[in-house]
Amino acid sequence: MKKYEKITEEIVEIAEKLLKENKVEKVIGFGIGIFTEEVTPIFISDPKDADRLVFNSKAEMSLAKYLLNYKEQKVAIVAKPCDSRAIATYLAEDLIKRENVKIIGINGCPGIEDNTACEECDIRNPVIADYTVGKKMTEEEIEAKLKDKEDKIEKMTPAERKEYFQKEFERCTRCYACREACYVCYCEQCFTEGNQPEWVGDSVKLNDNFTYHLMRAMHMAGRCVNCGACEMACPEGIDVRALAAKMCRSAEELFDYRAGIDPEQKTLLSDYDVNDTDSGFME
């Protein structure tokens, strides 16, 4: 707990300074809800309120998505390493302006309780930040955390994977909490809401659920940073992240590509090299 407390103190200090010096109009961070004891996103505009900011093992939400609501304002944001990758992806997609965002990055992220993505995370320091809090983790320390970690999906046969996902997705109520929590899902109209053509039916039958989750995974290819926000948001406890994580591994294995590593990089499916020796479907 001491690590979280120290990080919180440093966040409060930086946020208060930024607001006092009018370097930002707002700070996006985590705080305790007014009517509950739950950790929730909060938005601070007054330096006097900076002490409401906290960071602990319950700070599970990805705050990056809120940047899309404040594109024209100068804001600061508290960013876990995965959130910093999400911000880098937004910059790569030209969705936000770098000069409008001050990033308070968390070094040596101690992880989020019950978030399985943290167990396999090998990027424990922010990839982009204006200010940092916490102690930076070395590559050796990160490797020690990940020793002997294996993904269960990779050990399954195709038939076993199909059975596994059928059992998971038949519990889906299509509440779309995973979509709302995901920084990648920012379309003004989701394909699930279109009716010309209608890609997904209104039912929560397995076929429609499968279509929703598979299409969403394809839309996230080369953009997902495997933060686990989708899985944490799911009220049914479905292993929503498994598909996205598989797409992340495939992108790295096939194309040596990882999302959100460099704000200057193009997203995987938006880049095309005319000198590519693999003709692919054009053959």
Go through the chain and tell me how many residues it has: 283
Same domain, 61 and 167: no
278 found inside a domain: no
- Indicate whether 11 and 62 sit together in one domain: yes
Print the domain residue range for 74. Answer: 2-145
The pLDDT value recorded for residue 84 is 97
- Domain's final residue, options 145, 178, 206: 145
Instruction: Tell me what pLDDT residue 198 has.
Output: 72
Same domain, 116 and 191: no
- Answer whether residue 281 is part of any domain: no
Average pLDDT per run of 10 along the chain, which is 283 residues long?
A: 89 97 97 88 96 95 94 96 95 94 96 91 95 94 80 87 92 93 88 75 84 87 90 93 88 89 84 65 50
Same domain, 10 and 135: yes
Residues 129 and 241 in one domain: no
Residue 85 lies in a domain: yes
Whether residue 121 sits in one domain with residue 7: yes
- pLDDT value, residue 7: 95
Residue 97 has a pLDDT of: 95
**How does strand 39-44 pair with strand 75-79?**
unpaired
Q: Are 124 and 220 in the same domain? A: no
Give the tokens for residue 152. Answer: 């269960």
Indicate whether 96 and 226 sit together in one domain: no
Residues 133 and 251 in one domain: no
Instruction: Give yes or no: residues 165 and 257 share one domain.
Output: yes
Residues 28 and 51 in one domain: yes
Q: What pLDDT score does 1 carry?
A: 63
Domain tally for the chain?
Answer: 2
53: closest CA among 86, 22, 76? 76
Q: What pLDDT score does 49 carry? A: 96
Which pLDDT score is estimated for 130?
A: 97
> What integer pLDDT is reported at residue 235 of this predicted model?
95
Instruction: Give the residue from 98, 126, 145 where a domain finishes.
Output: 145
Q: Kindly state whether residues 108 and 178 are assigned to the same domain.
A: no
Residue 257 lies in a domain: yes
pLDDT for residue 127: 96
